[in-house]
Each structure stands twice: as C-alpha cells, then as structure tokens.
Structure 1
Amino acid sequence: MGYSTTHFKSINPYTEEVVYEIPMHTLEQTREILQNAQEAFCNEWINTTFEQRASLLNAVAKQMKDNLDYYALPMTEEMGKPINEARGEVNKAAWAAEHYAKFAQEYLKTEYLESDATESYVQHLPLGVTLGILPWNAPFWLAFRYLAPALMSGNTCVMKHDSHTPLCAVRIIEAFQKAGFPKNVVQNVVVGHSNLESMIRNPIVKGVSLTGSSKAGAAVGAIAGNEIKPVVLELGGSDPAIILKDTQDLEKAADVVVLSRYINAGQSCIAAKRIIVEEPIYEEFIALLKQRFEKLKLGDPKDETTVIGPIARKELVEQMHEQVNKSIAAGARLILGGEKHQGKGFFFPVTLLADVEPGMVVSCQETFGPIAAVIKAKDEEEAIKIANDTEYGLGGSIWTKDIEKAKKLAGKIITGQVSINGIVKSDPRLPSGGVKKSGLGKELGPHGIKMFVNTQQVWIGPAKG
C-alpha cells in the first residue's frame, strides 16, 4: 500500500525528542479499512459465540499484563505519563477486557416481557462496524473502554487514535494480533480530523464513540446526528469536590482531593477541578492542601519516584499559564506554584489558587493540568449552587459524615456520577458518562455495552385471547 506524504509524529514531552512517526492513511486506504471491517463482521465476527469472543479478549488482557512495560512505556514516552501510572493504566485496560469477557453475556441476556403475545422478548444484536475516536490523555484505558464492550456485543472496531500517541495505537493493535484475534476485527486508522467526516458518513460505520473536548463532541455529534447514527460522547469536565464542615476526616479528604487533582499531571476529565469548601473549615482545608501539594515531585516520567510528569504538549502549558494569570488578575489568591518552568520538558508547576469566584477563568473553563481552584461556600446550599454553575456535568464528590444527607445532595448535583467520601473514578463495573456539555450516552457497566446494539423486540403470535 502507498501512503500519503503526511504523518503523525509524537514528541516526548520530557526530552522534546521525536518518539515515533507513522504515515497517515489516504481516503482510499481509509475506505478499504472500513470495507475490511465490514467483511470481518459479516463473514466471521457476527458468527462467534460469547465464549469465543471472551476467550480472545482474555488473551489480549494476558498479553498486556505479561508484557507490562512493552505496553506502558509508549505512554510515558509519548505523553509523559509517569511509568507507575502507565503500568497501572495497562492493567486497568486489561481489567476492562476481562470484565466484559466475563459479564457481557449476562449484560446482554434476552429479556422476556409480558404482552398480548404468546411470547415476547427483547434481544440485543450487534450493529456492525463501529468507530472509536480517542484522545491522548489515557491512550490504553480509553481505547479499551470503547473496544471491550463493542467487541463483546459482536461489533467490529475501527480505532482512530490521537495524532500525539501513534505508537500507543500501534501497540494496542499488536496486542490483539498477538492474542490471535481474527484479522480486521480490530483495526487502527491513521487519519486527521479532515478525513473523519467522510468516515462517520460512510454507510459502513453504524455507530461512533468519541472521547475528547466538548468542541470535538459537538462536531462529531452533529455529523452522526445528520446521518442518524448512534453516538456516545465522553467530553470535558469541571468536576466539583464539595467539602462540608462536618467532614469527619479532613486529612483523608485532602489526601484524596490532591490525588484526584494530580493524577496524570491533572490531565483527566474527571479530576477534582473546583474544590468547594464550606466557610468554617475553609482556611484549614487550604492549609492541608498546600502541605500535600508542595511535597509532590515533578520530574522524569521514567523515574519511578516521579509523581508528576510533564504536560503532554507545550501549547497546553502556555494555555494553563494564561488561565492562572487571568484568574489571579481577577482576584484569585495564589497559594502555591504559578511560576514558569525553567529547563527542558513541558512542565507546569503544581498550582493552588484560593478565593476563586465562579466567573474566573479557572472556575468556568476546564483546567487540564495540576491546577487546583478553591472556592468558599457559606453553606451546603450555596456549595451545590456553585457546583452546578458550570456548562459541564461529568463527575463530582461530596465529603461529609452524614451519608443520608450526602445521598440527598448527590441527587441535586447535575453530573453523570457522584462519589461520596471517595475519589471520582471510572470502573468497568459501573456506568460513566456526563450530562450538559460533558457528553451523552454511557460507557462501562451494563449500560455501556448497550450503546451499540440493536435492542430488538420480538412478538410471537397468536395473541392471547
């Protein structure tokens, strides 16, 4: 096959050197990839049993776990994820594969419903070829969050990974090949944004999953909607962490909030981004956060003692400095960080801002880095109001010793998930997905696997008398 002259090229954000380069597919090659996926679906994959699919997916999980660093290192090199976090991500991706291998048949079991029929039921059938459009910040986990349920429900998958993590995409496909997956059931397509529209509009593609920015989600969702195709959008977030004055263990709350904010150098949609603290404990909690944040070590992501690696790209660092500077100019109090990094690597200092008001940039825009914005609330009612004062609605957390109160408050927060006295995280066993500009549809759990199936109702006569 000939290739076009343009390439995806990844740059190591620590060394600033080229990691990997791969030619992009032409439109003709892209159509061929989709055609191959369609043939693999019709001629082979649709005829496999749950047991056969599960066996193959378990083999993929084993391949990755047995060769952990082979799959983890591309993340460290291409987007700066500290090596321990990268290993954890490969294991979590394997867990997603194992989870759906074990539970897909149960999640998609036939449902028998009473009607006027002699017998009536609902069955869940695959749609065909699905397209997954993925971001750079969790290259393995987000890929498997899409791939595992789509494959176990009987669909074939074409993965369009981010242009900044091309080696990660190649290694993911390699894992499927080494596990013995049938040819063309899972494929990688290397295309830019300009070629995506023709892919989504191609009649072969029956469903689209995108994890990315709200802007990307709006564009992809509009095209998919125009073609009347199901779409799952997991988009940005500005997650609130509400710390109420009756929180039993403020030290633990501070530990978890800090962890949530710095994982992946803060480059996470579901990180705690707005820390809303009830007035009586406001200054005390800021002091606890400062103690923890100032101990965090930035450095070489391949060094096992590094806690925070570099930011994936230079322009993202500049964007964050702008967000912080505008917020300070608007009256935010700088507690920690904010200064520019000197030396090699795309680092952003751990930054803690207090006295943040809802209109400030760090409050109303998504901050995709280690920036914590602390907001004072006079009571829990105002805390909920501040939490909802955003165009996003992905996740959120509440800290209080009164669990019954927390359950009631959870129902008032307009987000796709709420954690009470714990970290907001994704888990293969539980559905995740946002509301408002954080997306639509669900991923993971029993709900996620039903996004790309034909929920077919079957009525068998004669009718009951």
Structure 2
Amino acid sequence: MDERIRTERDTSQAREPAAAPSQRPRIETVDPATGRTGRSYEGHSREDAVAILGRVRAAWPAWRRTGYAERATAMRAAAEVLRRRKAEFAELMTAEMGKTVTEGLAEIEKCATNCDYFADHAPAFLADRPVDMGGPPDSSRAFVTFNPLGVVLAVMPWNFPFWQVFRFAAPTLMAGDAAVLKHASNVPGCALAIESVFREAGFPEDLFRAVLIPGRETEALIEHPDVAAVTLTGSVEAGRQVARAAGGVLKKSVLELGGSDAYVILGDVDVGRAAEIAAAARVVNGGQSCIAGKRFVVVREIREAFERALVEKMQAFAMGDPRDPATRLGPMQSLKARDDVHDQVTRSVAAGARVLTGGEVPDRPGAWYPPTVLGEVRPGMPAYDEEVFGPVAAVIEARDEADAIRIANGSPFGLGSGVITADLARGERIARDELEAGLSFVNANVRSDPRLPFGGVKDSGYGRECSEFGIHEFVNVKTVLVQS
C-alpha cells in the first residue's frame, strides 16, 4: 500500500509530521480563509489507535443485544445534541476547512435529520423477512434476519466533515454495529466533536471513537482482527488502496469515490433556469463535492445562450468571508488544493479551452479561487477528462441528445448525473435508462438524502449509503430455516 491512504484530495492543510509508531504526532490546523495557523491537537500513535479499537470491540457485544427502542432513544438524543451545538460545529468546519457558516449550519441540520430518520425507520428496515418455501404450512418455516457485523472502520474526508460521518454512523449504530472513525487530517477538531456528540447523547462510552492517526497507519487498522468491515469516502486511489487491504483479509468494504458529474442540457430548456440549476450544482461547498456538477453537456443550438447565462449565474457567487451569513462562496480547503485546480484550468486553456469568467488566482491571503466557467472544452483537457475539485464549470458542446448522452457516459466516473429538459418523460427516460451513474436527477442538482440510496459505479466506487440499502451494507443477511 502507498505510504498514506489519502482520504482527502489534498493533505497539506494539516501539517502532520511523520512519526514513528510509538510517537504521537502533533496536528496543526490552518484557517483556509486567512492562511493562519489554528488550533493544534495531539494525535494518536499506532499503539493508541489499536488500544482504542480494542475498547470499541469490547463495547460492541452489549450494544448488539440492545433493542431498537434503546438505540433509537440514543440516536434521537444525538440529533438534539447536534441542533443544540450547531453554531459551535459550523464555526469548527469554517475554521478547519473553510466551509461557509450558512452551509455549515445546513450540514449540521442534515446530520440531525439523518439521525432522526434512522431512529424512526431502522426497525422496519431490519425486521425479519419471512420466506415462502411453498410447502405445507407445518413442514418448515424460513426467514431472513439482519445481524450486526461488529466494528466498522470509517475512513472519511474533509469536505463534509460532519455529514459524511453521520451518513454512515447513524445507520451503522442503529444496526447494532460499533464504529471507529479515521477522519481526514485537516479536520481533527471535527472528528473529536463528532465523538463527543455520541458520548453526550448517551451511547456507550467506547461505542464510537475517533483515532487521530496519519493515513499510513490505516492499513494496520483495516487488517486488525477487531475490525469487521471498512467504509471509505475519498479519492479513487484511496479506494484502490482500501479495497486491496480489505480484500486481502476478506472484509466487506463500501467505497464512495470521486465524481465528474455530467448534466445533459437539452434544447427545449428555459436557458436561464438551466443555468441557475447548473451554477448551484457546480458551486455547492465551494465546488468541493464528489456530486457537484462539473461537466455541462449542452446541445449545439443553445450552447452560446447557455454559456452567457451560466457566466451570469456563476458570477453571482461572489467570494467572501465564510463567517458572514451572506457569503455564497468561501475559500477552498487549502492553498495546494487551490493551486491544483488552477493548474487544471491553466492546462485546459493551453489546450484550447476559453475562460469565460474567473480563472485567475486572487492576490490575497488564503486559499481563494473565483467562480470560473470554461468554454470549448474538449477531450484531452483536464476539465474534460479529470475531476476538477473546485468552482470550475466546464461547458461541452454536443450535436444532439444522443451525442450528449455519449459524452456524459464517456468518463471513468459514475457517481451523479443530471438531465435538464422541459419534457419530463424524456428526462426520466434518459435518467433511468441511459446515464451510467448511481444517481440521476431531472431538473435538479444532485444531492444526498437519508431517504435515497447514495453511491456510484465505475471508478466512483461500489456499495450504497443512506436509505434501506445503506443500512443493509454492514449487516449479516442471515437465512434461518426451522424444520418441524
């Protein structure tokens, strides 16, 4: 395995020194809006992490025997803690990875809603399911039951530092599993805050724990016998490393990886409304989202009009202080992340793309990058071929509907996708039957929701989070037959 499993697109934001296994690293955070050093944390050594894992494993047997009512009481209490401390947690996200306070508050509310959802629905999702064996009613009885697996190791990224964790944690804990969180190294405060939520809510002391370790130590935890399964949200390369490590010890894994979401924009649209959807899809979380719209595949007859409208809508996302509730676009998570995105823009322009707005690094402290639109984007350019993890929209011209679908599917990624059209039946057909992605939305920007299965295909990973499908990922689907 590579020295470091990179759950982040960039790990430079947290200055985490190399450490021998017996040493505890010191982790310094950096405010992306100013570039100034923030709070520092003492990390865990490998021995610390293994000891924490052992305590989580020891806490699990009692939890797996609790009833759904007891689990739900604790999970609803977690939702209450999140809502009570939402301002504190939103500020923590702003300080560590630059999220605007408005988006941070919305993220915490989404986490709380997720906790309530699984508290309400887990009993039905995990109820025994009878199987009709077709014989005389007194000959045999069969059913399927769902048993917890044990300790799930979660390797999580920085971009939605609370939501991505609660998205896995709420169904996992409601299913009777325990959890260990290895969070991205630039959000250590968020990791510890999440641990504190579950403790304050009344979950057993060691049922959910965070370990502050460098990525290079993750493989040892995956392979440890106290870990039953692993879930990762991160880059494609991180997914490959985790899949190899988990597969080598025959452990279940769920991988939610990168995306280069394409939106097919057809000629019958209201161009202004289409551009509004596209801009919102591109700039969500500062463009730092796996399911952010990145490639806008527009049929030829409206391409110029769409570009003009998209430039106007993107320019409305002015950069500003992420702590100001009016700000719509904050900084990127680090200088390196910003420079990587600018490099992709620069190389695309050198290959023939046109900058329609933005595309210049501001002369100011912090990891800032303006909303950017590129036109004349073609194969061979980073904006066409790669995931651009920042506020950069690529407009790609297609001859017609069939060509637009071909372009949308011509990517190694398959996480989210969209169709914008005035013909709902046409949009539904394309979304259902044509687009190669785990999610396809019509006339809306792609987003995650506790009620909807979330995950991808191709290089975007495998497995599902959220909904009934997500809660079934980390259980033993067991057949029971009773012969009379």
Q: Does 1:103 align with 2:124?
A: no
* Equivalent runs, 1:174-213 vs 2, <5 Å: 174-213=196-235
Q: Does 1:79 align with 2:101?
A: no
Deviations 1:226-270 (A, max 9, x none): 1111100000000001110012x3222211110111111100000
Contact 1:340–1:348 (8 Å) recurs in 2:
yes
CA distance in 1, matches of 2:256, 2:126: 22
Deviations 1:381-433 (A, max 9, x none): 00000001111000000011222222221221110010011110000000010
Deviation at 1:281, TM superposition (A): 0.7
Deviation at 1:20, TM superposition (A): 2.2
2:48 corresponds in structure 1 to 29
* Equivalent runs, 1:246-285 vs 2, <5 Å: 246-247=268-269, 249-285=270-306
Deviation at 1:358, TM superposition (A): 2.6
Secondary structure of the equivalent of 2:459?
helix
Secondary structure of the equivalent of 1:205?
coil
CA distance in 1, matches of 2:427, 2:43: 50
Worse-matched range after superposition: 225-234 or 404-413 = 404-413
CA distance in 1, matches of 2:182, 2:72: 23
1:15 corresponds in structure 2 to 34
Q: Does 1:424 align with 2:424?
A: no
In the alignment, residue 96 of structure 1 is paired with which amino acid? N
1:168 corresponds in structure 2 to 190
* TM-aligned CA distance change 1:159 to 1:5, over 3 Å: closer
1:40 corresponds in structure 2 to 59
CA distance in 2, matches of 1:15, 1:331: 33
RMSD value, Cα: 1.2
In the alignment, residue 73 of structure 2 is paired with which amino acid? S
- The one of 370, 382, 387 equivalent to 1:366 is 387
2:4 corresponds in structure 1 to none
2:14 corresponds in structure 1 to none
Worse-matched range after superposition: 342-351 or 442-451 = 342-351
How many equivalent pairs are there?
A: 459
CA distance in 1, matches of 2:39, 2:169: 24
Deviation at 1:3, TM superposition (A): 7.6
2:152 corresponds in structure 1 to 130
Deviations 1:78-114 (A, max 9, x none): 1000000000000001111111111011111111111
1:440 corresponds in structure 2 to 462
In the alignment, residue 7 of structure 1 is paired with which amino acid? R
In the alignment, residue 354 of structure 2 is paired with which amino acid? R
Worse-matched range after superposition: 215-224 or 286-295 = 286-295
CA distance in 2, matches of 1:231, 1:21: 32
- The one of 352, 356, 378 equivalent to 2:373 is 352
Secondary structure of the equivalent of 2:444?
coil
How high is the sequence identity, in percent, across the aligned residues? 38
CA distance in 1, matches of 2:34, 2:368: 11
- The one of 427, 433, 443 equivalent to 1:406 is 427
2:237 corresponds in structure 1 to 215
- The one of 237, 254, 266 equivalent to 1:232 is 254
In the alignment, residue 60 of structure 1 is paired with which amino acid? A
Contact 2:24–2:44 (8 Å) recurs in 1:
no
Alignment gaps of 5+ in structure 2: 1-20
In the alignment, residue 227 of structure 2 is paired with which amino acid? V
CA distance in 1, matches of 2:316, 2:145: 54
CA distance in 2, matches of 1:219, 1:20: 30
2:77 corresponds in structure 1 to 59
Deviation at 1:323, TM superposition (A): 0.3
Contact 1:158–1:188 (8 Å) recurs in 2:
yes
CA distance in 1, matches of 2:324, 2:28: 24
CA distance in 1, matches of 2:27, 2:453: 33
Contact 1:9–1:163 (8 Å) recurs in 2:
no
1:50 corresponds in structure 2 to 68
Deviation at 1:170, TM superposition (A): 1.2
CA distance in 1, matches of 2:479, 2:434: 35
Q: Which runs of 4+ in 1 moved over 3 A?
A: none
1:113 corresponds in structure 2 to 131
Q: Could you tell me the TM-score, scaled by structure 2's length?
A: 0.93
Worse-matched range after superposition: 361-370 or 110-119 = 110-119
CA distance in 1, matches of 2:127, 2:445: 32
CA distance in 2, matches of 1:406, 1:292: 23
CA distance in 2, matches of 1:310, 1:149: 32
Contact 1:3–1:24 (8 Å) recurs in 2:
no
In the alignment, residue 326 of structure 2 is paired with which amino acid? T
Contact 1:3–1:23 (8 Å) recurs in 2:
no
Deviations 1:282-314 (A, max 9, x none): 101111101111222102110112111101011
In the alignment, residue 264 of structure 1 is paired with which amino acid? N
2:174 corresponds in structure 1 to 152
2:346 corresponds in structure 1 to 325
Contact 2:22–2:47 (8 Å) recurs in 1:
no
CA distance in 2, matches of 1:425, 1:194: 31
Secondary structure of the equivalent of 2:413?
coil
Q: Does 1:90 align with 2:111?
A: no
Secondary structure of the equivalent of 1:419?
strand
CA distance in 1, matches of 2:119, 2:272: 39
In the alignment, residue 246 of structure 1 is paired with which amino acid? D
In the alignment, residue 323 of structure 2 is paired with which amino acid? K
Secondary structure of the equivalent of 1:459?
strand
Worse-matched range after superposition: 54-63 or 249-258 = 249-258
Secondary structure of the equivalent of 2:393?
strand
Contact 1:338–1:351 (8 Å) recurs in 2:
yes
Deviation at 1:66, TM superposition (A): 1.6
Q: Does 1:388 align with 2:409?
A: yes
In the alignment, residue 71 of structure 1 is paired with which amino acid? F
Contact 1:358–1:389 (8 Å) recurs in 2:
no
Deviation at 1:4, TM superposition (A): 2.4
Contact 1:4–1:23 (8 Å) recurs in 2:
no
Deviation at 1:18, TM superposition (A): 2.0
CA distance in 1, matches of 2:357, 2:204: 53
In the alignment, residue 108 of structure 1 is paired with which amino acid? L
2:333 corresponds in structure 1 to 312
CA distance in 2, matches of 1:41, 1:461: 32
